[in-house]
Structure 1
Amino acid sequence: MDPMKARAAVPVHLPVSNPTTSYWQDPPDEIADYESSSSFPEKIDTLIIGCGITGVSVAYGLLTSNKLGGDTGKIVMLEARQACSGATGRNGGHTKSASYRSFESNTTTHGLPTAIAIATLEYETITSLHAFAQANDIACDLFTGDTVDIIYSRADWETAQSAVQAIRDAMPDKLDTVARYHFWTAEEVREKFNVRGKECVGAVSYQAGSLSAYRFVIGLLKLCLEFGLQLYTNTPAIKLSRSSDQSWEVTTPNGVISAKRVVLATNGYTAAIWPHFQEKIVPLRGQIEAQIPPSSLSELECTYSFIYPDGYEYMIPKPANSQFPSYPGDVIIGGGLAMLAAEGAEEFGISDDSTLNPQLTDYLGKCTERYFGVGDEWKVRQEWTGIMGFTGDGIPFIGEVPGEEDLWIAAAFQGHGMVLCWGCAKALVEMMDGEELGNFPDVFRISEERMGVEFGGRHS
Structure 2
Amino acid sequence: MDIRARLPVSLPHPNHTTSYWQSPLDGSLADFLSAETVPGDIVDTVVIGSGITGAGVAWNLLQQEKKREGGVVMLEARQTCSSATGRNGGHTKAASYRTFPSHAQTLGLPLAVKIARFEYANIQALHTFAAEHNIECEARSCDTVDVIYDQKQWEECVNAVEMIRRGFVEPGDEKGVGRYTLWSAEEAKTAFLVGGIGMDGESVKGAVSYEAGSIHASKFVYGVLKLCLGDGSMRLFTNTPATKIEKAADNACWAVHTPRGIIRARRVVLATNAYTSFLCDKFHGSIVPLRGQVTAQRPGSNMPPSGLQNTYSFIYNGGYEYMTPRPGSIPDIIIGGGLAKSTDQGLGEYGTTDDSSLNSSISVYLGGAAKTYFGDETWGKDDEQGRVKQEWTGIMGYTPDGFPFVGEVPDIEGMWIAAAFQGHGMVLAWESARALVGLMGREDVSNWFPSPFIVTEERIGRRFEGRRS
User: Match for residue 202 of structure 1?
Assistant: 206
Q: TM-score, normalised by structure 1?
A: 0.96
Question: 1:364 offset after TM fit, Å?
Answer: 0.4
Distance 2:32 2:66 in 1: 28
- Kindly indicate whether residue 300 of structure 2 is the aligned counterpart of residue 294 of structure 1: yes
User: Match for residue 109 of structure 1?
Assistant: 106
User: Match for residue 440 of structure 1?
Assistant: 449
Question: 1:245 offset after TM fit, Å?
Answer: 2.6
> Among 387, 399, 404, which residue is 1:391 paired with?
399
Question: 1:177 offset after TM fit, Å?
Answer: 1.1
Question: 1:398 offset after TM fit, Å?
Answer: 0.3
**1:402 match: secondary structure:** coil
Question: 1:294 offset after TM fit, Å?
Answer: 1.2
Q: What is the aligned-residue identity percentage?
A: 52
Q: Tell me, yes or no, if the aligned pair for 1:249 and 1:259 is still in contact at 8 Å.
A: yes
> Among 367, 370, 380, which residue is 1:365 paired with?
367
For 1:434, the aligned partner's letter is: R
Q: Tell me, yes or no, if the aligned pair for 1:64 and 1:70 is still in contact at 8 Å.
A: no
- Kindly indicate whether residue 83 of structure 2 is the aligned counterpart of residue 86 of structure 1: yes
- Kindly indicate whether residue 236 of structure 2 is the aligned counterpart of residue 253 of structure 1: no
**1:157 match: secondary structure:** helix
User: Match for residue 200 of structure 2?
Assistant: none
- Kindly indicate whether residue 157 of structure 2 is the aligned counterpart of residue 160 of structure 1: yes
Q: What's the Cα RMSD here? A: 1.3
Instruction: Tell me the alpha carbon deviations over residues 348-371 of structure 1, each in whole angstroms, 9 at most, x when there is no partner.
Output: 001010000000100000101221
Distance 1:456 1:109 in 2: 17
For 2:151, the aligned partner's letter is: R
Question: 1:280 offset after TM fit, Å?
Answer: 1.2
Distance 2:185 2:421 in 1: 33
For 1:459, the aligned partner's letter is: R
> Among 148, 151, 157, which residue is 2:148 paired with?
151
**2:257 match: secondary structure:** strand
User: Match for residue 128 of structure 2?
Assistant: 131
Question: 1:171 offset after TM fit, Å?
Answer: 0.7
Distance 1:127 1:239 in 2: 36
User: Match for residue 18 of structure 2?
Assistant: 21
**Unmatched 5+ stretches in structure 1:** 322-327
> Among 24, 33, 37, which residue is 2:35 paired with?
37
- Kindly indicate whether residue 167 of structure 2 is the aligned counterpart of residue 170 of structure 1: yes
User: Match for residue 324 of structure 1?
Assistant: none
Q: TM-score, normalised by structure 2?
A: 0.94
- Kindly indicate whether residue 356 of structure 2 is the aligned counterpart of residue 351 of structure 1: no
Q: Tell me, yes or no, if the aligned pair for 2:43 and 2:69 is still in contact at 8 Å.
A: no
> Among 222, 232, 237, which residue is 2:237 paired with?
232
**Unmatched 5+ stretches in structure 2:** 198-202
User: Match for residue 244 of structure 1?
Assistant: 249
For 1:248, the aligned partner's letter is: W
User: Match for residue 192 of structure 1?
Assistant: 191
Instruction: Tell me the alpha carbon deviations over residues 138-184 of structure 1, each in whole angstroms, 9 at most, x when there is no partner.
Output: 11111211000001111111101111111111112211111000011
For 1:371, the aligned partner's letter is: Y
Distance 1:244 1:254 in 2: 19
**2:389 match: secondary structure:** strand
Provide the aligned length of Structure 1 versus Structure 2. 449
Q: Tell me, yes or no, if the aligned pair for 2:36 and 2:260 is still in contact at 8 Å.
A: no
Distance 2:108 2:69 in 1: 37
User: Match for residue 421 of structure 1?
Assistant: 429
User: Match for residue 214 of structure 1?
Assistant: 218
User: Match for residue 410 of structure 1?
Assistant: 418
Question: 1:40 offset after TM fit, Å?
Answer: 1.9
Distance 1:72 1:168 in 2: 49
**1:343 match: secondary structure:** coil
Equivalent residues in 2 for 1:48-127 (5 A)? 48-65=47-64, 71=68, 73-127=70-124
For 2:152, the aligned partner's letter is: A
> Among 254, 258, 263, which residue is 2:269 paired with?
263
**2:29 match: secondary structure:** coil
Instruction: Tell me the alpha carbon deviations over residues 12-56 of structure 1, each in whole angstroms, 9 at most, x when there is no partner.
Output: 000111100011111111210001123420221100000000001
Instruction: Tell me the alpha carbon deviations over residues 309-337 of structure 1, each in whole angstroms, 9 at most, x when there is no partner.
Output: 1210011111124xxxxxx1000001111
Instruction: Tell me the alpha carbon deviations over residues 413-452 of structure 1, each in whole angstroms, 9 at most, x when there is no partner.
Output: 0000000000100100100011110221001000000001
Q: Tell me, yes or no, if the aligned pair for 1:290 and 1:382 is still in contact at 8 Å.
A: yes
**2:78 match: secondary structure:** coil
**1:105 match: secondary structure:** helix
For 1:448, the aligned partner's letter is: E
After the TM superposition, list the runs of 4 or more consecutive aligned residues in structure 1 that deviate by more than 3 angstroms: 68-73
Change (3 A) 1:292 1:452: same
Distance 2:67 2:57 in 1: 14
**2:345 match: secondary structure:** helix
For 2:404, the aligned partner's letter is: P
For 1:383, the aligned partner's letter is: E
For 1:172, the aligned partner's letter is: V
Q: Tell me, yes or no, if the aligned pair for 2:37 and 2:260 is still in contact at 8 Å.
A: no
User: Match for residue 467 of structure 2?
Assistant: 458
Distance 2:468 2:312 in 1: 21
User: Match for residue 180 of structure 2?
Assistant: 181
